[in-house]
Structure 1
């Protein structure tokens, strides 16, 4: 209970600051508050001790609830309105981003698990995708902390850098919006970045981004199937599937169900807004819980290579996204 109450207070504070400074996404603020709680004198001992069970619960279980409700933001009709060439391009960008980021992470000697989570978060939808992949592959909660920190850092970097490049690159509002949607990690970070170029940029950015989010389900399914095949392989732990998670976890099925429900058009704007608010609350609490496990001193000693890998990957995805944006909206 102490950890959950702390997460609730942090989410309230994040929303308050976001209301005063809309350019700062509430989800990013939640991670930052978690990192501060983990490293400020006095609070650090509390977050590592009495509050830890609740914070870990938020980082794992509330994250899954937020992923389910994320599906309410995705309408299949909006995605199809982009046209098949654009959809193929977005899928290609996600695939290239995933493969490229994983390869870069391994070149920088990051462990396979960390490389997988970083690639998932950078290519699809930030911390939500990391949480989904960790559940599918039965990756320890502690191993998600560094990837979440990296995806939050680079997504926040995009909010400041991409708008500065729009004019020198001669980008129209539509191209800038498509670039943002194709290359920025988290949905909130996409909104914060694209809105600097106006409503036209924001509209296409959100649709392109949500198309990437939609790929969370098939990527999770492929990862789950691969994990089960590995368990069957000779030399696997005991060859038994009894301890394995399903190919598609229940919360990913819930995500797909919410996408279908949104696409029917049955839900009124009031219900969609309520779902979006609850999703933000759940993900905000989860990200605070994950952020509260980040020890900056440890990160500086062990995360130097990871930071370099993340920055190179961020540059790769920005280039891929820009090329796709010119083809989608140029």
Structure 2
């Protein structure tokens, strides 16, 4: 009995030693999340993720940040981010996506695969590194910041500036698309249903799609969100392919091989399956959505706090140009697909 008690005490001590260094950084992230969500509440068109990134960058560059915060910030930037991706799976119902019909599902696959392939190719021509290209390609083609986070968990970019740049570009260009898509849909004479399909197929973040669908009106919001969630579902197979490629590459170099299916991606799939059974109460889904948003905001704040502006400036205009091209490609494929299936 005494041995069991000693073992339990040692385990508790180890956990305490692991947790305590994280608390200052986690507390700082919690404060950043509170501010971000408050600002987002009063300015709903401004993404809470963008606010969190900006707050983190300002904190890092306007005031000395004591080393006591670093452990918690690093934990938030990696672990909390991946947990947010897992909870994102609770927003998806397979039945809703299948209800779109085979034609629309084919269009969604074309948007994701075509967007990724074109962005990687254009970025290569521009001379942008593979990891930065991949972060932008998946963020713009699949589901914004969550996709960037997922890629970050698989490819391990050289520095946090690459991740922050990709997320900032997703938020910037996706926000610009909120008024552009409704205006362009009206100019092209698209009905509300087709305009909703286009919005869901071309805009980067779920929240941005909701905003654009609300502007279009006439039932566009529902179909736009479902199409967007169909793109989100593509996150799992794309990450599995990227992980498999990374495993093959690392096998030749003797480096550490990533798992065939990262644990957080498996968690994402499990959450999708669980939600699709219909056993999860709507109240739990709504609460999980709030928690997911808070976790991603905490991760964005932590990533921003790891960035020095002088290093970010060195990025130059190329990623911005690639982001613009990726946005045009994804929107173009989506519009062509909507025209074909209409």
Partner of 2:76: 58
Of 59-68 and 145-154, deviating more is 145-154
Deviation at residue 199 of structure 1 after TM alignment = 6.2
The secondary structure found in structure 2 opposite 1:168 is: helix
Correspondence for 1:99: 117
2:214 counterpart of 1:195:
yes
Do structure 1's residue 4 and structure 2's residue 20 form an aligned pair? no
Which residue is 1:312 aligned to?
Answer: 325
Quote how far apart the aligned CAs of 1:8 are: 1.3
Provide the rounded CA distance (Å) in 2 between the counterparts of 1:196 and 1:37.
35
Q: Is 1:27 the equivalent of 2:49? A: yes
Check the 8 A contact 2:143/2:204 in 1, yes or no.
yes
* Higher Rg of the two aligned structures: 2
Q: Does the CA-based 8 Å contact 1:31-1:152 persist in structure 2? A: no
C-alpha deviation, 1:254, in angstroms: 0.6
What per-residue deviation string (whole Å, max 9, x for no partner) do you get for residues 263-284 of structure 1?
0000111111111111111111
Taking the aligned partners of 2:276 and 2:170, their CA distance within structure 1 comes to 29
Equivalent position SS for 1:265? coil
| Structure 1 residue corresponding to 2:137, chosen from 97, 116, 119 | 119
**1:290 aligned onto 2:308:** no
Q: 1:159 to 1:38 in 2, by over 3 A?
A: farther
Task: Measure how far apart 1:141 and its partner are.
Answer: 5.3
Q: TM-score, normalised by structure 2?
A: 0.87
RMSD: 2.0
The 2-side partners of 1:150 and 1:223 are apart by 22
**Unmatched 5+ residue regions in structure 2?**
1-22
Q: Do structure 1's residue 172 and structure 2's residue 188 form an aligned pair? A: no
Asked if the contact 2:47–2:171 (Cα under 8 Å) also holds between the matched residues in 1, the reply is no
Identify the residue that residue 132 of structure 1 maps to in structure 2: 150
For residue 237 of structure 1, what is the aligned residue in structure 2? Answer: 253
2:263 aligns with one of 238, 243, 250? 250
Q: Which runs of 5+ in 1 are unaligned?
A: none
Aligned length, in residue pairs:
319
Misfit runs of 4+, over 6 Å: none
Once residues 305 and 193 of structure 2 are traced to their aligned partners in structure 1, the CA distance between those partners, rounded to angstroms, is: 38
> What residue is the counterpart of 1:278 in the other structure?
291
- Residue 46 of structure 1 aligns with which residue? 65
Which of the residues 167, 184, 191 maps onto 1:148? 167
